[in-house]
Amino acid sequence: MVHRALIALAVAVPSVVRSQAEPPKRVAASSFATVEVHLNARPIGKRWYEEDAALTGPSRIAIKYSQPHARGRKIVGGLIPTDTVWRFGANEATTLHTDLDITLGSLALRRGDYTLFLLHDAKDAWQLIVNSQTAQWGTDHDASRDIGRVPLTASTMRDNEDTFTIYLVPESPDPRSGYANLSGALRVRWGTIELRAPWTIKQ
């Protein structure tokens, strides 16, 4: 009797490892930003209380937003549309938080939280829109909840700022002193355009 054995041959196939170059390391500008000014006192009721770590922190005025980047694209009339309310940043709606009663331009705002939008019209006028709705996406603008509009003064800068940036700049007669007035300027820069409006803190 012939015994036939079925022999399984294990063939070792060497695995081919493809050498893959690691992607290059990159540094990207942050798309999220917050600009703040602090006051070393806080109003509670009808009285002002000096900053105390145990009881009260500093009062804050803060704008939180996402930063779009131009990257060679047209800004005015392009990324910022004309005759259309713009989201004043990118992604989620840009927010204004204030622990203080303030005046922005000539618009009085009580302490609280707001959303900011921007409008550029065909006559080249600029307006900041202050809205009472919060926690929405940047393109969700409910005009029925607008509180008011703040005219912005436009000027042309020599330098080109590729990233949309918002500044809150306190006024100081002597910056070396470390002290500033309870007022300042809101500045918005993108490309070669700068927009500006004054703000003051109600005492």
How high is the pLDDT of residue 8?
40
**Looking at the predicted structure, is the pLDDT value of residue 203 above 90?**
no
Q: Look at residue 126 and tell me if it is in a domain.
A: yes
Tell me, yes or no, whether 26 lies in a domain: no
Residue 3: pLDDT band (50, 70, 90) is: very low
pLDDT (tens digit, 9 = 90+) per residue, 64-82? Answer: 999 999 999 999 999 999 9
Tokens of 197: 């409006």
Q: Is residue 55 part of a domain?
A: yes
pLDDT tens digit sequence for 97-117: 999 999 999 999 999 999 999
Q: How many whole angstroms from its chain centre is CA 56?
A: 26
Q: Which two tokens stand for residue 187?
A: 């500045």
User: Cα(31)–Cα(165) distance, rounded to whole angstroms?
Assistant: 10
Assess whether pLDDT exceeds 90 at residue 135. yes
What value does the mean pLDDT take over residues 14-28?
66
Between CA 120 and CA 118 the distance in angstroms is: 7
Q: Is 150 within a domain?
A: yes
* Within a domain: 22: no
11 has pLDDT over 70: no
pTM for the predicted model, two decimal places = 0.82
Bridge partners, 86 (sequence order) = 118
| Domain extent at residue 134 | 32-201
| 14's tokens | 């060497």
Q: What is the pLDDT of residue 30?
A: 61
In a domain, 63, yes or no: yes
Q: Give domain status of residue 143, yes or no.
A: yes
Structurally, the chain folds into a number of domains equal to 1
